[in-house]
Amino acid sequence: MDRFYIPRRFIFVFGTFFISLFMYIDRACISAAKEPITGDLGLTDNQMGWVLSAFALGYALFQVPGGLMSDRFGPRKVLAGIITLWSLFTALTGMVKSYSGMLIVRFLFGGGEAGAFPGISRAVYSWIPMKERGIVQGINFSGSRIGAAVAMPLVAGMITALGWRTSFIILGIAGIVFAFLWYALFRNKPEEIKIISKREREIILSGRQQDEKIKPPPLTAGKLFGSVNMWLAMLQYFGSNFTFFFALTWLLPHLRETYDLELMQAGIYASAPFVAGALGNWISGIIVDAIYRQGRWKLSRKVPAVMGFVLMITGLIGSLYMDTAFSSVAFLSIAIFGADMTLSPSWSFCIDIGKENSGSVSGTMNMAGNIGSFVTALAFPYLLSWTGNVDAFFYVAALLGVFSIFAWLRMDPKKSLT
Range of the domain at 323: 2-410
Q: Quick check: is 367 in a domain?
A: yes
Closest of 12, 23, 277 to residue 122, by C-alpha: 12
- Measured CA to CA, the distance from residue 170 to residue 243 in angstroms comes to 29
Half-sphere exposure of 211 (CA within 13 A, CB side): 6
Q: Please give the tally of structural domains in the chain.
A: 1
Q: Quick check: is 127 in a domain?
A: yes
For each of the chain's 418 residues, which pLDDT tens digit applies? 456 677 888 888 888 999 999 888 888 788 778 889 999 999 998 899 899 889 888 988 888 888 888 888 989 999 999 999 999 999 999 999 999 999 999 999 999 998 888 889 888 888 888 888 888 888 888 888 888 888 878 888 888 899 999 999 999 999 999 999 999 988 888 888 888 888 888 888 887 765 555 566 677 888 888 999 999 999 999 999 999 989 888 898 889 888 888 878 888 898 899 999 999 999 999 999 999 999 999 999 999 999 999 999 999 999 999 989 999 999 999 999 999 999 999 999 998 998 888 888 988 998 999 898 889 888 998 998 899 888 999 999 999 999 999 999 999 998 888 6
Q: Quick check: is 417 in a domain?
A: no
Closest of 384, 339, 378 to residue 243, by C-alpha: 339
Q: pTM value?
A: 0.79
Angle at 355 between CA 181 and CA 409, to 5 degrees: 115
Closest of 391, 383, 284 to residue 339, by C-alpha: 284
Q: Find the Cα–Cα–Cα–Cα dihedral 53, 56, 62, 64, rounded to 10°.
A: -130
Residue 61 belongs to a domain with what CATH number? 1.20.1250.20
**Per residue in 268-288, is it b (16+ CB within 10 Å) or e — as a string?**
bbbbbbbbbbbbbbbbbbebb
Q: Quick check: is 185 in a domain?
A: yes
Closest of 164, 203, 218, 152 to residue 36, by C-alpha: 164
- Measured CA to CA, the distance from residue 116 to residue 126 in angstroms comes to 16
Which amino acid belongs to residue 14?
A: F
Q: Quick check: is 312 in a domain?
A: yes
Q: Quick check: is 225 in a domain?
A: yes
